Amino acid sequence: MGIINASKLVFEYIRRDEEGNVEGITRAVDEVDLDVKQGQFIAILGHNGSGKSTLAKHINAILVPTEGTIWVDGKDTKDEDKIWDIRQEAGMVFQNPDNQIIGQVVEEDVGFGPENLGVPTEEIWQRVEESLKAVGMYEFRKHSPNKLSGGQKQRVSIAGVIAMHPKCIILDEPTAMLDPNGRKDVIRAVRALNDVEGITVVLITHYMEEIIHADKVFVMDKGHVEMEGTPREIFSQVDKLKSLRLDVPQVTLLAHELKQGGLDIPEGILTTEELVKALERLK
Amino acid sequence: MLRDITLGQYYQSDSVIHKLDPRVKLITTMVFIISLFVVDNFIGYLIAALFLTMVIKLSKVPFKFMVKGMKSIMILLMITVVFNLFLTPGEPLISVWKLTITKEGLRTAVLMAVRLTFLIIGSSVMTLTTTPNNLTDGLEKLMKPLKVLHVPVHEVAMMMSIALRFIPILLEETDKIMKAQIARGADFESGNLIKKAKSLVPLLVPLFISAFRRANDLAMAMEARCYRGGDQRTKMKPLQYKKRDVLAYTTVAAYLVVCIVVGRILPGMFSA
C-alpha cells in the first residue's frame, strides 16, 4: 500500500436551512480511488468546483469522508487517535499565503509546527534553518511576512510544513494568487523537495505548465476522477481536456493543431524543445 | 492614512532593547506608566523624559515611528488639555468671555499632555521593539500563576498574537475596500459625523465577512500544522533571563526610586 490510499471516497456537503433541516446535499467527492507511492510527484487537475480541494483536505484529516476510507501511511483518517500523526506526516499548504502565516517573523512562523509537535528547542532551530534553506528563504528569516512578496510568503508556508518533517506534502493551489515569477519560484521549490528530499508531493492546480514534471496526473470533474495517467498520456487527449473546460499548454495545443492539419508529429508534446525536435525530424 | 497607527507594529532592528526579555519590557512599561502618575512636578517629568530618551536612543528606532502613534490619540489629548485648562478652579490668569484660564489649570493641562504623550510613546517603544509573538510569550509567562484560577492564559495569549498579526492585513484590506468604493462613487469624507458613520456601514460589512473568512482559513491552517492548545507545546524561543535583563531590572528599579524621591518625597520635604 502506498503513502496515500483512498478507496471509494465520498464526501457530501450538507446544506441546512435555519431550522437545521437538510436543504440539499452536494457530492463534492464521488467514489474516488487513489494510490500514491512514496516519493511520487502527483498532480491533481480540475476547474473550480471539481472537488479537488475537498479531496486534498481529506489527506490531511481536516475533512473525514462520508463514505469510503482514506489511509495516510497506513493510518485511517477516521481514527481520532491517529489524527495528529497524520497531520504531521501529511503537511498542507493552502492557497492564500496571508491566511496561513501565524508568526510575525519568518523564522517564528516556520517554528510554529515543530513547537506544536513538542520538538525540543535546539532541534526546532535546526529544523527551521534546514527548511528555510531548502526553499531558499534563509536570508529572510528575520523579516516580517507582511513585507514579503506572495511567492516568498508561499515559500515560507512550505518551509513551515517541511519543518514538521512530513513524508508527504499537499499543496492546494499554492500558486493561484501569485504572479508568474512567484509561481515559478514556488514550483521550483516544490520540485526540489521532491527530487532532493524525496518528499511525496500532491500538487493541486489549474495551471497546466506546473504539472508537466509530475509522475502521475489525476484530472477531476464533478467529484469524479475523469482521467489518470502520465502528463504525456493526459495531454495527448486535447479534445477531452477541452470538454472538461481545462486549458492545454500552448505548445501542446500548437502540436495538436499541427497534427490535425496533417503533419506527422507525435501526440502529447509538452515542451518547446520537443516540438522543435519533432519538426526537425520532418524535414 | 490608515497604516499610520504604529501601536502593535514591530520595527526590525538589532538593538539592546530589542534583545531584552519581553517580561522585562512589559514590567518596565508598567513601571514607567506608574512613574508618570507618581510624579507631578516638572523635575520628575524631566527625569522621565531623560529615561525615555535613553531607551529610545538605545532602541535605534527612528523617533518619527513613535510620533506616528500619537496621531491616533491627538483628539483625546486635545479634549483633556482643553478641559483641564478651562475647568480647573484657582487663581485666574487670563479671562476671555466666560472662559477663564487659571494658573493651576495651565499647570495641570501641560502636565496632563506630557503625561499622555509619554504614556503613548513609552508603550510604543515596547510594541516597536518586541515582536507580538514575543510580547504574548512574555504576557503568557507573567500571567502563568493565573492558570491555577482556570484563566485560559495560553489561549488568550494566542488570540492576542493572532489579532496583532492581522491588524496590518485588515488595515490594508480596509484601504482596498475604501478605494474600491470610492471608485464607485462612495463618499467617506463629507457630511457631518452621523453621515460619516453611516457611510462606514458598507465598508464594515465586507470587512467583517473577509475577517471571518480569514479566521476560518487560519484556523484550518493552524490545525493542519498540528496546533492543539498549549499543553504539549515546546518553545522555539523560550524565555530565559540573561545578564542584560538583570541589568535592565536594576536600572528600572533605580529609576522608580529616583522618581518616587523626586516626585513625592522631595517636594514634601520642602513644603514641610
Same domain, B103 and B158: no
**Minimal Cβ distance to B227: which of A91, A116, A144:** A116
- Identify the domain containing residue B217 by its residue range: 150-239
**DSSP β-bridge partners for residue B92:** B102
Same domain, B125 and B11: yes
**Is position A163 within any domain?**
yes
Nearest chain A CA: its distance from B4 CA (Å): 15
Over residues A242-256, mean pLDDT: 83
**What is the mean pLDDT of each successive set of 10 residues along chain B, which is 272 residues long?**
50 84 91 87 86 89 79 83 81 74 83 87 85 79 86 85 82 88 83 82 89 91 87 81 89 89 73 54
Same domain, B231 and B124: no
- Identify the domain containing residue A104 by its residue range: 38-65+75-231
Same domain, B203 and B258: no
Same domain, B78 and B170: no
Same domain, B18 and B123: yes
The CATH number that applies at residue A96 is 3.40.50.300
Q: CA torsion sign, B269 to B270 to B271 to B272?
A: positive
- Is residue A129 scored above 90 in pLDDT? yes
Give me the number of domains chain B comprises.
Answer: 2
**Is position B229 within any domain?**
yes
**Is position B136 within any domain?**
no
In this prediction, residue B268 carries a pLDDT of: 67
A80-101 pLDDT, tens digit per residue, is 888 888 999 999 999 988 889 8
Among chain A residues, the shortest Cα distance to B227 is held by A116
In this prediction, residue B237 carries a pLDDT of: 80
B234 touches chain A (CB under 8 A): yes
Using alpha carbons, select from A218, A142, A152 the residue that is nearest to residue A188.
A152
**Is position A28 within any domain?**
no
B77-111 pLDDT, tens digit per residue, is 888 888 888 877 777 777 777 777 788 888 888 88
Contact flag A105-B133 (C-beta cutoff 8 Å)? yes
**Is position A243 within any domain?**
no
B33-91 pLDDT, tens digit per residue, is 998 888 877 888 888 899 999 998 888 888 887 777 777 788 888 888 888 888 777 77
Torsion region of A47: left, alpha or beta (phi above 0 gives left; psi -120 to 50 gives alpha)? beta
**Minimal Cβ distance to B236: which of A62, A91, A111:** A111
Give me the number of domains chain A comprises.
Answer: 1
**Is position A57 within any domain?**
yes
Burial of A1 (0-12, 13-18, 19+ CB in 10 A): exposed
Is residue A109 within 8 Å of A142, Cβ to Cβ?
no
Q: Are strands A200-205 and A168-172 parallel, antiparallel or unpaired?
A: parallel
Q: Which chain B residues touch A101 with a CB distance below 8 Å?
A: 165
Under the banding of pLDDT at 50, 70 and 90, the label for residue A32 is: confident
For the beta carbon of residue B130, count every other beta carbon within 10 angstroms: 25
HEC profile of A179-246: CHHHHHHHHHHHHHHHHHHCCEEEEEECCHHHHCCCCEEEEEECCEEEEEECHHHHHCCHHHHHHCCC
Contact flag A108-B10 (C-beta cutoff 8 Å)? no
Using alpha carbons, select from B121, B123, B126 the residue that is nearest to residue B23.
B126
Same domain, B203 and B104: no
In this prediction, residue B208 carries a pLDDT of: 92
Same domain, B126 and B4: yes
